[in-house]
Amino acid sequence: MRLTAFFLPTLKETPNEAQVVSHRLMLRAGMIRQTSSGIYAWLPLGYRVLRKIEQIVREEQDAAGALELLMPTIQPAELWKTSGRYDDYGKEMLRIKDRHDREMLFGPTAEEVITDIFKSYVKSYRDLPKNLYNIQWKFRDEIRPRFGIMRGREFLMKDAYSFDLDYAGARRAYQKMFLAYLRTFARLNLRAIPMKADSGPIGGDMSHEFIILAETGESVVFCDKRWVELDVLADAPSFADDLEPFYLRHTSIYAATEEKHDPAHCQLAPEQLVTARGIEVGHIFYFGTKYSKPLGAVVTGPDGEPVTVEMGSYGIGVSRLVAAIIEPSHDGAGIIWPESVAPYKVGLINLKQGDAACDTVCEALYDNLLTARVEVLYDDRPDRPGAKFADMDLIGLPWQLLVGPRGLKSGTVELKNRKTGERVELSQDSALAKLTSVKLTA
């Protein structure tokens, strides 16, 4: 992509409405635009990151055997009346009437809709287990939308729902999601700690919030110091294996949200206990027959008797993740994207646009990178180098390839690693070889 053809409305000034660094940087980098309180448009650069995160989430759900579908954003109130949640949900639910005066709502979550779909088709235990998910916009009329897309009113969520014949099946479905979440967050370069969370009226131990430690986090959390260093995927099983040992190993290391933390029962020595703030990026939850019962999701069991299916639901805040990745990964100059979600891998900077030698070399590098399918943003604007450096650092692409008249005289270009700041001079060919064939780690 050529920057002159792109839409990158970066800001020099720090917007004063933004209280946390991720919000400030997303506004300054031209990633999002607020259209009303808690509701944002995703501008091209931000949308690329959102889609990359979405794709990683999707790949790991698929790997765990979950099946993607797409449910509507607008739901009928009727289903929520059947489950008993229509009145309970309160003001967070955006209620709408259509032209026929029918009660509708913008879905804040989709347990009712998915259970209704499931029960319409699945009638036998032989069709279990199933896990169905979608990645869809949700609306919650949050009382205090804040921190940009971190706590928005409209936000993108991955929500999966498992259906099983019995508790043992539901437990396995839960453990698969537990593993899928650890794999997902690792690919996003995030250390997300599964913390024991409130499990509602069902009780039991199967409710975990996945939390990233960050000073700007909204929740207070408590965990064993070991989590801070733990390689969570060391000796991770594959989805086909028995996941019980892995699950028990991880859930035995203390980690709890504020609601679940009980100082009287926490066995950790004070110096071993971390008390911190955190950002919730995912939540997995087993709730038995809470929805299947009122909505009538019943299958015929092996003995011919009807069985109300056991369910769980599993959410990831896909749009919140964009901010959650920036919070621990930035410096004074801007964002530092992990390569897996960077909007482009390389920023090509022409330090003297209009100079015949610089233009020729940049065009050749640009063509070669495109041919090699390396995602590249080419700053071909006629601006000063200083302004180009500042924008490129701000938007945080993992690699910058700098082409200027001085280097070209000795036949070199410069490759800068955004994260380490390390710069090396090398020939065009070696630069290309590095960016194309070798898997560079940012």
Q: How far apart are CA 49 and CA 55, in angstroms?
A: 10
In the complex, residue closest to ligand ATP by CB: 317
H-run or E-run covering 385? helix 385-395
Binds ligand ATP by CB under 6 A, chosen from 42, 106, 155, 344: 155
- To the nearest whole angstrom, how small is the minimum distance from the Cβ of residue 115 to ligand ATP? 16
Q: Which is nearer to ligand ATP, 26 or 413 (CB)?
A: 26
- To the nearest whole angstrom, how small is the minimum distance from the Cβ of residue 27 to ligand ATP? 17
Binding of ligand ATP by 142 (CB under 6 A): yes
DSSP 177-218: HHHHHHHHHHHTT--EEEEE---GGG-SS-EEEEEEE-TT-S
Q: Which 156-185 positions form the footprint of ligand ATP (CB under 6 A)?
A: 157
Binds ligand ATP by CB under 6 A, chosen from 30, 282, 338, 396: 282
Stretch that binds ligand ATP, among 123-131, 275-283, 385-393, 397-405 (CB under 6 A): 275-283
In this structure, what token pair is assigned to residue 64?
């765990």
Binding of ligand ATP by 140 (CB under 6 A): yes
Give the residue among 26, 31, 40, 23 at the shortest CA–CA distance from 7. 31
Binding of ligand ATP by 194 (CB under 6 A): no
Stretch that binds ligand ATP, among 165-173, 236-244, 278-286, 393-401 (CB under 6 A): 278-286
Q: What are phi and psi of 306, to 5 degrees?
A: -70, 140
Binding of ligand ATP by 106 (CB under 6 A): no
Stretch that binds ligand ATP, among 69-77, 152-160, 230-238, 395-403 (CB under 6 A): 152-160
Binds ligand ATP by CB under 6 A, chosen from 283, 290, 345, 388: 283
In this structure, what token pair is assigned to residue 420?
């380490």
Binds ligand ATP by CB under 6 A, chosen from 194, 317, 328, 338: 317
Q: Which is nearer to ligand ATP, 312 or 317 (CB)?
A: 317
Binding of ligand ATP by 320 (CB under 6 A): yes
Q: Which is nearer to ligand ATP, 152 or 396 (CB)?
A: 152
- To the nearest whole angstrom, how small is the minimum distance from the Cβ of residue 209 to ligand ATP? 7
Q: Where are the alpha helices (DSSP H) in 236-378?
A: 244-251, 292-295, 318-326, 356-371
Binding of ligand ATP by 148 (CB under 6 A): no
Q: How far apart are CA 289 and CA 272, in angstroms?
A: 38
Distance of CA 375 to the CA centre of its chain: 21
Stretch that binds ligand ATP, among 117-125, 169-177, 279-287, 384-392 (CB under 6 A): 279-287
Q: How far apart are CA 340 and CA 191, in angstroms?
A: 15
Q: Which 35-64 positions form the footprint of ligand ATP (CB under 6 A)?
A: none
Binding of ligand ATP by 280 (CB under 6 A): yes
Q: How far apart are CA 379 and CA 2, in angstroms?
A: 6
Cβ-count burial of 234 within 10 angstroms (0-12 exposed, 13-18 middle, 19+ buried)?
exposed
Task: Dump strand ranges (E) for 58-202.
Answer: 67-68, 74-76, 94-97, 103-106, 130-139, 154-164, 192-196
Binding of ligand ATP by 152 (CB under 6 A): yes
H-run or E-run covering 77? helix 77-83
- To the nearest whole angstrom, how small is the minimum distance from the Cβ of residue 142 to ligand ATP? 5
- To the nearest whole angstrom, how small is the minimum distance from the Cβ of residue 57 to ligand ATP? 11
- To the nearest whole angstrom, how small is the minimum distance from the Cβ of residue 281 to ligand ATP? 5
- To the nearest whole angstrom, how small is the minimum distance from the Cβ of residue 38 to ligand ATP? 7
- To the nearest whole angstrom, how small is the minimum distance from the Cβ of residue 170 to ligand ATP? 18
First-to-last C-alpha distance (Å) of the chain: 21
H-run or E-run covering 41? strand 39-42
Strands 130-139 and 67-68: parallel
Do residues 202 and 287 lie in contact, with contact meaning Cβ atoms separated by under 8 Å?
A: yes
Q: Interface residues with ligand ATP (CB under 6 A)? A: 109, 140, 142, 151-152, 155, 157, 280-283, 315, 317, 319-320
